[in-house]
């Protein structure tokens, strides 16, 4: 039986990464911390990744991408790259919400140490706003993904009913506001493309593919462009 090879792409946040997964295990990963360079970096990174792992484009069965939320430009770069490869190779596209991938990664990394807690990933959306959601240990939504302006009453209901683990680059500003005894904060260094590869393997076997023609990034809020008059 041929091995299942999936290329996973994450350019949703400042730390971009691409991973080649073989039967769910990462065979190789390339990363970039220069958010403004994601567009020029990604194609070179994919070629280097294939070269070092000994695989070719024709070996890839599907491409997975974090669909958002996250950086507007980064999301467009990742989605366009994934769609282009899928179209050229006539292979499926797999997408997953960035916040859910973050929650999956923390659940898998911390395991029993996390206990029976809710998972709350946070992506910085500037000022006091974050992209966030709340998931239970089965990754079911307790609070759906949203763009949220933080204040001292945010997550009050969830915190009154359970321990909530907060993480991601948006959690630092929430930590300054939150003093609830049920709140826990952890620092993570997650390569999302690697964890996305694990999730995408299951989604591929379940044939949960995105529509290549109509799939779009999940922005969660309107994009505003300002031009000089």
- Tell me if 105 is assigned to some domain: yes
Which pLDDT belongs to residue 142?
A: 95
Considering the domain architecture, whether residues 70 and 152 belong to the same structural domain is answered as no
Is 28 inside any structural domain? yes
Interior/surface letters 171-187, b for 16+ CB within 10 angstroms, e for the rest: bebbeeebeeebbbeee
Is the whole model's pTM more than 0.85, yes or no? Answer: yes
Residues 79 and 10 in one domain: yes
List the structure tokens of 120: 């709350």
* Claim to verify: residue 178 and residue 200 sit in the same structural domain: no
Shared-domain flag, residues 48 and 77: yes
Residues 83 and 156 grouped into a single domain: no
User: Do 39 and 81 fall into the same domain?
Assistant: yes
Confidence of residue 184 (pLDDT cuts 50, 70, 90): very high
Q: Quick check: is 77 in a domain? A: yes
Interatomic CA distance for residues 8 and 121, integer angstroms: 20
pLDDT at 113: 57
Number of domains in the chain: 2
In a domain, 220, yes or no: no
| C-beta separation of 154 from 129 below 8 A | no
Residues 59 and 109 in one domain: no
Residues contacting residue 211 through CB under 8 Å, at least 6 positions apart: 93
- pLDDT, tens digit, 9 for 90 and up, residues 85-142: 999 999 999 999 999 999 999 999 877 555 679 999 999 998 889 999 999 999 999 9
> Is residue 2 over pLDDT 90?
no
In a domain, 218, yes or no: no
pLDDT at 225 over 80: no
My answer on whether 128 and 173 are in the same domain is yes
Q: 210 and 94 in contact (C-beta within 8 Å)?
A: yes
Which phi-psi region, left, alpha or beta, contains residue 177 (left: φ > 0; alpha: ψ -120 to 50)? alpha
- Please write the tens of the pLDDT for every residue from 150-159: 998 899 999 9
DSSP 31-48: EE--GGGHHHHHHHHHHH
Residue 175 is part of a domain; what is its CATH number? 3.30.420.40
Same domain membership, residue 142 and residue 71: no
Residue 219 lies in a domain: no
| 179 and 76 part of one domain | no
Residue 150 lies in a domain: yes
In order, the DSSP letters of 163-183 are -EEEESTTHHHHHTT---TTE
CA separation for the pair 149, 170 (Å, rounded): 11
Count of CB atoms situated within 10 Å of the CB of 26:
17
Residues 46 and 120 in one domain: no
Cβ neighbours of residue 25 closer than 8 Å, sequence gap 6 or more: none
28 is in which domain, residue-wise?
5-97+191-205
Sole residue written with tokens 């599907």: 62
- Whether the per-residue pLDDT at 226 is higher than 80: the answer is no
Q: Say yes or no: 134 and 167 in one domain.
A: yes
In a domain, 217, yes or no: no
- For residues 20 and 46, what is the distance between their CA atoms, to the nearest angstrom? 9
């Amino acid at each position: 039986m041929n091995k299942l090879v999936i290329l996973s792409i994450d350019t949703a946040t400042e730390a971009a990464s691409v991973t080649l997964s073989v039967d769910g295990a990462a065979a190789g990963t390339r990363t970039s911390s220069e958010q403004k360079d994601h567009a020029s970096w990604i194609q070179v990174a994919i070629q280097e990744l294939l070269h070092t792992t000994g695989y070719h484009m024709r070996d890839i069965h599907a491409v997975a991408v974090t669909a958002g939320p996250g950086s507007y430009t980064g999301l467009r770069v990742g989605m366009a790259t994934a769609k282009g490869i899928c179209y050229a190779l006539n292979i499926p596209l797999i997408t997953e919400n960035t916040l859910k991938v973050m929650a999956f990664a923390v659940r898998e990394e911390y395991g029993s140490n996390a206990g029976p807690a809710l998972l709350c990933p946070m992506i910085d959306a500037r000022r006091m706003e974050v992209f966030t959601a709340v998931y239970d240990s089965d990754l079911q939504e307790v609070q759906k993904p949203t763009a949220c302006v933080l204040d001292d009453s945010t997550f009050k209901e969830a915190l009154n009913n359970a321990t909530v683990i907060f993480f991601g680059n948006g959690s630092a500003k929430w930590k300054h506001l939150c003093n609830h005894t049920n709140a826990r904060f952890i620092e993570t260094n997650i390569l999302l493309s690697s964890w996305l590869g694990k999730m995408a393997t299951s989604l591929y076997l379940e044939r949960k593919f995105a529509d290549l023609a109509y799939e779009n990034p999940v922005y969660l809020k309107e994009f505003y462009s300002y031009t000089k008059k």
